[in-house]
Chain A
Amino acid sequence: EAGVTQFPSHSVIEKGQTVTLRCDPISGHDNLYWYRRVMGKEIKFLLHFVKESKQDESGMPNNRFLAERTGGTYSTLKVQPAELEDSGVYFCASSQGGAGNTIYFGEGSWLTVV
């Protein structure tokens, strides 16, 4: 069974440009999460989808970040325009619906804004 897959694995963009990260969750997983880790700090929650609905977007830093989940399948996270402080690794994770289910993480998308 395929795990959580993320694209691209690495991206280097200039300040002011736009980047779109994609996440394909494990098939059948209703819950999809985005997290971010800035260098040396904790992994921070960004938002949570249940199927195609945003359940919790309290962690989104500002309106330069836009997340979508098309038809309850894959998700995209767009950063527009990117700033230097957006650099870090963005993790996508998914889990089945219901309590106590394991949350599986992807390998992350490394974003460097220069």
Chain B
Amino acid sequence: QQQVKQSPQSLIVQKGGISIINCAYENTAFDYFPWYQQFPGKGPALLIAIRPDVSEKKEGRFTISFNKSAKQFSLHIMDSQPGDSATYFCAASRSFGNEKLTFGTGTRLTIIP
């Protein structure tokens, strides 16, 4: 049983475009929703995270949109750049991130010139 579902599996976006990755969760006890970015040969690195008391969080070109009633959250990358090409994982946790992370399956993002 996969508790966090992520789509799409892969995504190709033109440079300057908007990249959108979606996740849905089942466990209403989750209260911390991070996004991780992973480059080949490296470990996942925290990109941005949100708690369910807000509907949106923005950091530079990266925005998380959160819909608590629909149990969905998404990552938007504005003005996508070739350097953004990586695998992105959504995740969820309880206790504001002090417990284990439950990950989505990942999205391989490719930004083309």
Enumerate chain A interface residues (CB-CB to B < 8 A). 4, 31, 33, 35, 40-45, 48, 56, 59, 91, 93, 95, 97-108
By a CB distance below 8 angstroms, the chain A residues around B72 are none
**Shortest beta-carbon distance from B37 to chain A in Å:** 11
By a CB distance below 8 angstroms, the chain A residues around B42 are 107
- Residue B8, interface by CB 8 Å: no
Q: How far is the CA of A98 from the CA of B43 in the complex (A)?
A: 22
Query: B97 near A105 (CB under 8 angstroms)?
Result: no
Query: A45 near B98 (CB under 8 angstroms)?
Result: no
Q: State which of A35, A41, A100 has its C-beta within 8 Å of the C-beta of B97.
A: A100
Q: Across the two chains, which residue of chain A brings its CB closest to B3? A: A42
Q: State which of A42, A100, A102 has its C-beta within 8 Å of the C-beta of B103.
A: A42
Query: B98 near A56 (CB under 8 angstroms)?
Result: no
B37-72: contact bitstring with A at CB < 8 Å (1 yes, 0 no)?
000011111100000000000000000000000000
B13-52: contact bitstring with A at CB < 8 Å (1 yes, 0 no)?
0000000000000000000101010000111111000000
Report if A43-B45 is in contact (Cβ < 8 Å); known contacts: A100-B32, A100-B96. no
Q: How far is the CA of A31 from the CA of B25 in the complex (A)?
A: 24
Q: State which of B2, B43, B46, B99 has its C-beta within 8 Å of the C-beta of A108.
A: B43
